[in-house]
Structure 1
Amino acid sequence: MARSSAKTVYEIFQSMEYGPASASSVATAQAWLDHHSRSLGLFIDGKFVRPADRRSCSLTASKGDVVCRTVSAEDEDISQCASSADGGYKSWSSLTCSQRSKVLLRLVGVLGLHGQCVSELCELCEASCSLSALVRLLQYYSSWAQLRDSLVSNWAPVGVVVVVTSDDCSLYSLMLKVLPALAMGNSVIVVPGRSAAPPALLLAQLFTTAGLPAGALNVLTGSAVPLGAKVAQGPNVGHVTYSGNKQDGAMLCKATAGMGVPVSVSPCVGATCPFIIFESADINSAVDEAIQTAFKKKKELHWLLCVQESVADSIVARLKLRMAGMKCVSLRSDADRSLVDAAVQEAQQQGATLVQSCAASPPGALYPPTVLCGAAPSSPFVVSPSPGPLLPLMTFRSNSEAVAVGNHSPHGYAASVWTEDLTLALETAKSLSVGSVWVNSSSVLDPCLPVSGHKDSGSCTDGGQEGLYQFLRPSFSSSPCLRSSPVSMDYSKFGTEASQAVIPDSSEPSSSPPSYLQFVGGKACKSVSGCSVAVQAPGGGGVLALCPEGGRKDVRNAVEAAIKVQPGWMKKSPSARAQSLHALAKGLEAKRREMAAAVVTQTGVSLAEAEEEVEQSVARLGVWAAYCDKVQGGSLPMPQSGAALSIPEALGVIGMVLPDRNPLLSMVTLIGAAVATGNAVVVVPSKKRPLPALAFVQVLQSSDLPAGLVNIVTGSRDQLTVALANHSVIKAIWYWGSAEGCQYLQHTCTSPLKTLRLFCQKDEGGKERGTDWTRPDPALLEDLWRNAVQWKSVWIPTA
C-alpha cells in the first residue's frame, strides 16, 4: 500500500500553513440576480421599481466579472421615494412598540428561509456581513423596539432617516444604522454604496415579506454621496447618517450644509488602528491574530503593529515563520499594485526591512503579505497607508510610549491590546483615544457595544442604547435647525465683516458706559486687539456697556489654557467635580443681586423675573453636580464569554456660542453639562446680551474651578465662530446663531471632524425661536449630557 501523502499533525504545526479552502457556491445568489435579469431597480413603497430611460452602473467583482447592474436614481425617483417614506413613517410609527418588535423578529425567521441567498450575495458583492451577525442585529434591536417607551421615555422618533454609505462600506455597517432607526419608529431611505447595494435591495424585499409597512424602508441606488445630498433636501427628512470612508463623509457634510438637517458621520473605513503587543503578552497568539487581521483579502481598517522592544526580535522571528508560504493577496486593480510598490520602495529608502511570505512578488494585481519593520510614526506609509497587505511595525519601550504611539494617528476608531496583565490592559485602554479597545483579541463586533469614533473617526455613537439617540429627539422639542435651501456663501469671507467703531460721545466720566473684561486662563483681561464693542440697551436704546472685541488670538489663548487643565480635570473623581460645581452654585447664590441686576439691565425683564432666573441657575448647577457620579456606563451583556465595558469619556475642549434667550440660565446649563462630564469650555456669550456672562466672571474668579477650565471671550459672533471652527484642538461646537452660521460650521468642521450641535435662533419671518431653558425637562438635561460625552467600549475575553 502506498504511503499516504497527508501530513501528520506534527508536520502541520511545524509549517503552520493553512489547509485548502473549501469551494464556495453562489448559485442561489446567481439565481436571484438572474430572476431580476441582472439589472436591479430601486425599492420604493414596498416593491421593486425600474423606471425607463435611467442610467445604470455596473458592479464588478475583484476578478473583473460583472455581477449586476444597478439603476441611477434621478429627481423624479427621489420625489417618489420621499413621498413613500413619509407615508411609511406614519404607518410604522403608529404601530405599538410590541407590533414593531414582532415585525423585526419575524425577519429572523425569513432570514432562516433565505439566509443562504443573503450570504452568497454578500460574498459575491464583497459586502462582508455574516448571516449570524445579521440575526444578532435583528434580535438586539427588536428588543429595543419593544422597550422604547419603557426605557427611552420622553423621546420621539425624528421622522425620515437617510442612511448613506460609501462604496467600500460593509453591509454590517449599513444595517447598524438602519435597524436602530427602524426600531425607534422612523422610516428609512437607504442610499448604499456600490458593493452593499444588491444585498440592501434583497434585505428590503425580505423586510416587506416580514410585514414591514410599505414605504418604511426604501432603497435608492446611484452615486451615493451626491444622491444622498439630494435625498436630504426632502422636507420630512429628520436626520442623515453616514458610514464609510472619511473623504466621502466630508463631501456629504459639505453637500448638505445649510439644509437644516442634522448629519452624523461614522468614518469606519480606512482608519489606522494600533495593534499593541506588550512583553507580557502571549506572543504566539498575538502574532497569529495580527496576521489574520492585517492580511485579510478585504479589510476596512489599516493596522499598525506596535511591539515592545524587549520582544521585538522574537516577534519578527515568529512573523517570518508564520508568513512563510502564505498566499498572495489579490488587489482591486493594477493601479493599487502601483501604489503598494511605491509605498514599499519608499519604506525601504527610509531604512525599513521587509518580512514577506515569498521572495519575489508576482506580477499583476497580486501582492504577498508584507511586514515593514523599522517604521516611524511620521513615515508616509504609516500616516497615509496604501491599499494592500502591508503591515508597518514599530517598537516602543514603556507603557506611556505605547499609548503615545497609539494616539499619534488622527484616527480614533479602535485598538487591539495584547497583555496578560489585566491592570496594564485597563490602564492602556483608558488612555487610548479610540472608540473600541479589544484586549487579547481584535475586531469583536456586537450591537450592544457602543462605539463613538474619537478624533477623525466619527461624530456620533453607533451600537448600544447610546446609539439609539441619534434617531430620537426630546419629545418636547422641535427641530433645532430650520429646513431651508443652502444660501450662496463665500465661506472665506464669513466672519470677516468689520465691527462698528466705538467712539467717545461724552467728555464726562460719570456718563461713560462701564467697561467689562473677558475671562481667559483664570484671569480677567482685555482682548489682544485692545478694541471694544458696544452693548446696546434693550429696544434699541443707548450704549449700556463696552466689552472686549475678541478675535482669533483670544480664542487661541483660551484653547491653550483649556487644553492644559482639561486632562487633569477629567481625571478628577466624579465626587470632586461635584463638589466644585456645588461650590460654584453657592458662589452664584452669594452674588444673586448683582447677577439679577445684570439680567434686568441686559434683557429689560422685571426684577422678580431676573431673580427667578438666578434661582433657576443655582438649581441647575446643583442638578449637574448631582449628575457627576450618577451616570457612568457599566458592563454589557455580551453573547460571548468575557467582560464588556462601556465607558463615557469627556470630549475635550468644547466651543460654545451661547443663545440670546435666558442669557444666564442658558449659559449655566450649557457650561454645567460640559464641565460635569470632564470637559473644558471656551464660551462666546450672546453678542446681543453678553452682560450676564461677563458678570458671571466674578463668580468664576471666586470659585475653586481650575484656571482655564471655563473661558469667556466676547466679540463678533461670526468672527469668533470662524476661530472656533478652524481650531484643530476643539472637539465639539455648540452653536446658537444664524442660519448662515449653521451652514458655515457644517461646511467647515470636517477636517478635523467636529461634533456639532446647531440651533437656528430665528425663523424665516425673523421671529425668535429656541429652547425653553426654564423647563426642567429630564430629556433636555439627558440630551445635553449625551452631547458632552463620547463612548468607549472595552472587550476582555475569558476562557
Structure 2
Amino acid sequence: MAGSTSRTVHDIFQSMEYGPTGASAATAQAWLESRSRALGLFVDGRFLLPADRQTRTLTDAKGDSVCSVICAVEQDVSQGVTSAASGFRSWSALSCHQRAKVLLKWAGALGQYSQCVVEVSDLSQASCSPASLVRLAQYYSSWAQLRDTLLPQWSPLGVVEVVVSDDCPLYSLMLKVLPALAMGNSVIVVPGLSTAPSALLLAQLLTEAGLPAGVLNVLTGSVVNLGATVAGNPTVNSVTYSGNKQDGVALCKTTAGAGVAVSVSPVVGASCPFIIFESADIDSAVDGAIEAAFKKRKEIQWVLCVQESVLDSVVARLKLRMAGLKCVALPSEADRSLVEAAVQGAQQQGATLIQACGPPATGLQYPATVLCGVAPSSPCVTSPPPGPLLPLMSFRSNTEGVTLGNHSPHGHAASIWTEDLTLALEAAKSLSVGSVWVNSHSVCDPSLPTSGHKDSGTCTDGGQEGLYQFLQPSSSPPSLTRSSPASLDYDKFGSAGSPAIVPTARCVCVAPKFYQQFVGGKSCKSESGGSVAVQAPDGTSVLAYCPDGGRKDVRNAVEAASKVQPGWMKKGPSARAQSLYSLAKGLEAKRQEMAASISAQTGLSLDEADQEVELSVGRLTDWAARCAQGQGSAPAVPQAGTALSLPQAMGVVGVVLPDNKPLLSLVTLLGAAIAKGNAVVMVPSQRYPVPALTFIQVVQASDLPAGLVNIISGARDQLTVALANHNVIKAIWYWGSPEGCQYLQHTCTGPFKALWLHSHEEDARWAQPSTSLLEETWHNATQWKSVWIPTA
C-alpha cells in the first residue's frame, strides 16, 4: 500500500484490499458551490430555484451533507411540461443529422468535464464511468442519424417522462434518456435523490452542447408522487421507470387510468445467480464472485450456486481470498439491522459463515459474509437485504444448476462459469434472465438488447429493439386515450354475472346454434355450464349461444398452454412456419363457412365477409414467412469478446380481442404470437364471438399441438380479471374499455406482465397492409436476451 515499506505485492494480493484512489472532490465541490449547494430544477434550458419549496438533503457515504434538492410542486410540473412540449416541436423539426451532431458534441463535453462528472456521481453515491456515458452518447447518436433510414414508418412519441428511484445508478437513467432523445422526443427526468446532482449536471452539459431549450427538463422531488403528477398531465405521452421494484409498483398503481403507457425496469435489488460448474476455472470464478458481491456499491444481489464436486475447493478459496477484506459501508442503520436479521435467520436454518472478521459492535460497517448451506427458500436467497452478503447453495448436475438459477423470482441477469462452451450456451439459453455473462459479470453495452424476464420489468433496453418504447407507428393513433382515472373498485371489477337465459314464447324459424369453446385441444363447454345469448345484427333475435367462460376455464387453458409452450418454442422456425401455412390452408378450405359466420354475426355482406377471410389467409401466410426473420445477431461491441442477442418467446400470452374485424384481428394476433413460439389464451369479442368460435374448427384440423391455442368466450371484464391474476401469463394484449386498461395497469405488477393496451377498439390498420402494425405486433411477441462471452 502507499506509504508502507513492510507490505509486499504478494501480501496485498493475498488480502485483496482496494488501494487508495487518491481522488479528491475539489471539482465537484466547486460546481456545487457555484450553485450554493442548493440544487434547483432544470427547465427550459436553465436552472431554476423557486422559493418556498420543501427540500431534501443528500448525504455522502460518511453521512456528511452534500447539497439540498428541492421538491417540485404542481406549478413547477406545469412549467416543465410546457417547456418540454415546446422543446419537442423544435427538436423534432431538426434533421436526423442535426440531432446526431448534438449528441456527439455532448460526448466530447463529457470527455472535457469527466473529472467533474466522476466526482459529482461519487459524492452522491451514484458512481458511473464517463467512458460508459460516452459510449452511450456515441451509440445513440448513430441511431439518431439513421432513424429515418432504418425506421421509416415510426415517429417519436412526443414528451417522454423518465423516472428513476433514489437508489438507481446513473447509467440506468441515461440508458432511458439518450435513446428517447435520439428518436426525437423531448424528455422530463424525475431523478432519485442520489442521481439528481448528476442528472442536473448532465442536463447542463447537454444544453451547452446545443440541445434546444426545453428538450431535456429535470424536476426533482419525491419519485412516486412527482412522477405520478407529471404522468397525469395530458401532454405527457409515455412514462418509463428504472430502479427498485417497490417504487415501480407504486408508480404503476398511482398512474393507472391516466391513459398513458408505463414501462418498468426494476434494475435495483434483484437476486441473480452466480453459477460455478465443475468445468470452471475455480480461481477466476472465486475472484469474480468476490468482486461482484463485495464491491462498494452494487445494484443487484448475487446468489452463489456451486456444483457439489468442486464445493470444497470453492469454499477453501473463498476463505483464503476473503481473509483481510475490509468491512463494507452500509447506507443506514436500518440496512444494518436487515443484514443482521438475515444472517441470524440463515444461521438458525443451519447456514455457516465465512467472514474476514467479526462485525463491529456499532456503526454502518459490516464484514463481507458468505452464508454457506442456505436453502433455496431462505429469505436471504429470495429477497436478500442490501449489504455484503453472498448466500451459497450447491447442486449436483448441470441441469439442476440451471433449475437452481431459475429459482429466483427475478429475471435480471446471471453469471455462469465454465470452460465448456457447449454447456455455457445451453445454460445461457435455458436461464430465464435478460443478460447472461459467461466467465464474467456486470458487463454492459447499449448495443445489446435486454428484456425484463419474470419480475424484472416489462420493457426492452438497448439495441434497436430498445428504441421501440420511444416510438409509435406513424400511421396509427395513440393506443390509449388520455383521461382522469375512474373511481374503480378493483376488488369488484369483472364480478358482474352474465345475464340469465330464460325461455321465451317467441317463435323462431331457425333454432340458435350452441357453440363450444376450445381449451387444451378440445371443444368443450364452460366449467360453469352456463351460456351467453349472442344477438343478431338487427338486435331482435338470438343468433347463437356461446359458453360463459370464467376463472376455472382460464386456469385450465393456462395449464394446457404452459405444458406445450416450451416444446413449441424449441421447434425450429421452419417447423412453426409449416404449421402456420397449414393453418392458412385450413382457413382457405373453410372460406365459405367462415364468411357466412362473419356475415351473420356482423351484418356485413357476403362479399365483404369473404374479403375479410381472404385477408386473414394472407395474414397467416405473412406470419409463416416471418418465422425465419429476426433470429438474433452478434452485435459488434467495443470490449474484447463475443456478444449474442437472442430473441425468445414471451411464454403464455393472454389476448382480449376487439370487436372490429373479429376474424382478421384474431389471426393477426394469433399468428404473431405462435410464430415467435408463444402459446395463447384468447378471449373473443364479447359482441361478435361467433367468427372466433367457428375458427376453432380450423385450429382442430391443423397440426398445431393441443393446448397451444385456447379460445374462451364470455364476459370480457370477468375473463380479463382471470388473465390478470394468473401468475403464469407473461403478457396481456387488450382491446377494450378504459376501465379495463386501468384495471390491468393497477393489477399486473406482481409479477409484472408486459401490457399492450388499447382503450379504443377501432383500428383501421387491421385491413391495411401496414408494415408498422406487423412490426409492432412482432415486437410485442418477443423478449430479448443478451449473452456475453469474453475472450483474452
TM range, smaller chain: over 0.9
Aligned to 1:786: 779
Match 2:768 to one of 762, 771, 775: 775
Name the amino acid aligned to 2:266: P
CA distance in 1, matches of 2:193, 2:406: 32
Q: Which residue of 1 aligns with 2:261?
A: 262
In the TM superposition, what is the alpha-carbon distance from 1:153 to its structure 2 partner?
1.4
- In structure 1, what is the equivalent of residue 531 of structure 2? 532
Residues 412-491 of structure 1 aligned to structure 2 (within 5 Å): 412-491=411-490
Conservation of the 8 A alpha-carbon contact between 1:54 and 1:71: yes
TM-score (norm 1): 0.98
Aligned residue in 2 for 1:797 = 790
1:766 corresponds in structure 2 to none
Q: Is residue 403–residue 428 contact of structure 1 (8 Å, CA) maintained in 2? A: yes
Query: Which residue of structure 2 aligns with residue 648 of structure 1?
Result: 647
1:26 matched to 2:25: yes
Q: CA deviation at 1:363?
A: 2.6
Counterpart residue number, 1:738: 737
Q: How far has the Cα of 1:719 moved from its partner?
A: 0.2
Indicate conservation of the 8 Å contact 1:462/1:468, yes or no.
yes
Alignment RMSD: 1.3
What are the within-5 Å matches in structure 2 for residues 636-785 of structure 1? Answer: 636-761=635-760, 769-785=762-778
**Contact 1:760–1:770 (CA<8 Å) still a contact in 2?**
no
Amino acid at match of 2:766: W
Amino acid aligned to 2:441: S
Question: SS in structure 1 opposite 2:66?
Answer: strand
Task: Please give the alpha-carbon distance, in whole angstroms, between the structure 2 residues aligned to 1:578 and 1:445.
Answer: 34
Letter in 1 for 2:224: V
Q: Distance in 2 between matches of 1:390 and 1:81?
A: 42
8 Å Cα contact 1:555-1:682 kept in structure 2: yes
Q: Distance in 2 between matches of 1:737 and 1:656?
A: 11
- 1:375-402 Cα offsets, whole Å, 9 max, x none, are 1110111112112100000000111101
**1:225-304 matches, cutoff 5 A:** 225-304=224-303
Deviations along 1:266-321, one digit per CA (max 9) or x if unpaired, are: 00000000000001000000000100000122210000000000000000000000
CA deviation string 1:468-509 (max 9, x = no partner): 000001110110010111011111010011211111224879
Alpha-carbon distance in 2 for matches of 1:539, 1:274: 60
Q: For the residues of structure 1 that align with 2:598 and 2:447, how far apart are their CA atoms?
A: 46
TM-fit CA distance, 1:237: 1.2
Return the offset for 1:50. Answer: 1.1
Distance 1:533 1:43 in 2: 57
Q: Is contact 1:562–1:681 with CA below 8 Å preserved after alignment?
A: yes
SS of residue matched to 1:468: helix
- In 1, Cα distance between equivalents of 2:725 and 2:51: 46
Residue 765 of structure 2: SS of its match in structure 1?
A: coil
The aligned amino acid for 1:794 is V
Distance 1:38 1:9 in 2: 42
SS in 2 for 1:499: coil
In the aligned structure 2, how far is the partner of 1:42 from the partner of 1:8?
A: 50
Please say if residues 450 and 465 of structure 1, whose CA atoms lie closer than 8 Å, have aligned partners that are also in contact.
yes
CA drift of 1:728 comes to: 0.4
Unaligned runs of 5+ in 1: 763-768
2 CA distance for matches of 1:10 and 1:340? Answer: 32
Instruction: Report the CA distance between 1:114 and its aligned residue.
Output: 1.5
Q: CA deviation at 1:776?
A: 1.2
Match of 2:344 in 1: 345
Structure 1 residue 62: Cα displacement: 2.3
Question: Size of the alignment, in residue pairs?
Answer: 790
Q: Distance in 1 between matches of 2:214 and 2:353?
A: 54
Do residues 5 (structure 1) and 5 (structure 2) align?
Answer: yes
The Cα of 1:6 is off from its aligned counterpart by 4.2
User: Could you tell me how far 1:10 is from its partner in structure 2?
Assistant: 4.5
The AA in structure 2 aligned to 1:781 is: L
Instruction: Report the AA paired with residue 350 of structure 1.
Output: Q
Q: CA deviation at 1:115?
A: 1.6
Q: CA deviation at 1:436?
A: 0.1
Contact 2:686 2:716 (C-alpha < 8 Å) held by counterparts: yes
SS where residue 24 of structure 1 aligns? coil
Partner SS state of residue 699, structure 2: helix
- Aligned letter for 2:448? L
**Given that residues 506 and 512 in structure 1 are in contact (C-alpha distance below 8 angstroms), is that contact kept between their aligned partners in structure 2?**
no
Verify the 8 A CA contact 2:499 2:532 in the aligned structure 1.
yes
- Following TM superposition, by how much is the alpha carbon of 1:113 offset from its aligned partner in structure 2, in angstroms? 2.1
Partners of 1:65 and 1:11 in 2: how far apart?
Answer: 33
AA in 1 matched with 2:445: D
Which residue number in structure 2 is paired with residue 99 of structure 1? 98
SS at match of 1:623: helix
Percentage of identical aligned residues: 68
* Range moving further from structure 2, 61-70 or 178-187: 61-70
SS of equivalent residue, structure 2 residue 784 = strand
- Residue 224 (structure 1) shift: 0.9
Task: Summarize deviations over 1:596-644 as a string: whole Å, max 9, x none.
Answer: 0000011111111111100000000000001111211110100011110
What one-letter code is carried by the residue in structure 1 that aligns with 2:280?
A: A
Which residue matches 1:191? Answer: 190
For 1:634, what is the secondary structure of its paired residue?
coil
Map 1:239-638 onto structure 2 (within 5 A): 239-359=238-358, 361-506=360-505, 511-638=510-637
d(CA) in 1 for partners of 2:763 and 2:228?
A: 26
Q: By how many angstroms is 1:360 displaced?
A: 5.1
What TM-score results when the alignment is normalised by the length of structure 2? 0.98
Shift, 1:23, TM fit: 2.3
Mapping for residues 151-170 of structure 1, pairs under 5 Å: 151-170=150-169
Give the whole-Å Cα distance in 1 for the aligned partners of 2:359 and 2:413: 33
Q: What residue identity is the alignment partner of 1:522?
A: G
Q: Deviations over 1:671-691 (max 9, x none)?
A: 000000000000000000000
Q: Secondary structure at the match of 1:176?
A: helix
The C-alpha deviation readout for 1:91-136, integer Å capped at 9, x for no partner, is: 0000000000000001122122212111100000011211101100
Question: Secondary structure of the equivalent of 2:233?
Answer: coil
Alignment of 1:209-228 (within 5 A): 209-228=208-227
1:297/1:501 Cα in 2 relative to 1: closer, same or farther (>3 Å)?
same
AA of the residue aligned to 2:225: P
8 Å Cα contact 2:15-2:325 kept in structure 1? no
The structural deviation recorded for 1:238 is 1.3
Conserved? CA contact 1:759–1:770, under 8 Å: no
Q: Distance in 2 between matches of 1:91 and 1:345?
A: 58
CA offsets, 1:698-727, max 9 Å, x none? 101111000000000000000000000000
**Shift in alpha-carbon separation, 1:531–1:213, aligned structure 2, 3 A:** same
Tell me the CA shift for residue 761 of structure 1.
Answer: 2.0
Once the two structures are superposed, residues 63-107 of structure 1 have per-residue CA deviations (whole angstroms, 9 ceiling, x without a partner) of 111110011000011011111000000000000000000000011
Deviation at 1:335, TM superposition (A): 1.8
Which range moves more in the overlay, 174-183 or 362-371? Answer: 362-371
In structure 1, C-alpha distance between the alignment counterparts of 2:509 and 2:695, rounded to whole Å: 24
Shift of 1:18: 2.5
The answer as to whether partners of 2:99 and 2:182 remain within 8 angstroms in 1 is yes
Deviation at 1:338, TM superposition (A): 1.4
Report how far residue 770 of structure 1 moved. Answer: 2.6
2: CA distance, partners of 1:243 / 1:389: 23
Q: Give, in whole Å, the separation in 1 of the partners of 2:215 and 2:563.
A: 49
Cα distance in 1 for partners of 2:786, 2:607 equals 48
Shift of 1:539: 3.9
User: How far apart are the structure 2 equivalents of 1:771 and 1:734?
Assistant: 17
| Secondary structure of 1:307's aligned partner | strand
- Which sits farther off after the overlay, 58-67 or 680-689? 58-67
**Alignment check: 8 A CA contact 1:480 1:770 kept:** no
Secondary structure at the aligned position of 1:635 is classed as coil
Q: Deviations over 1:8-33 (max 9, x none)?
A: 445555x2432531222010000111
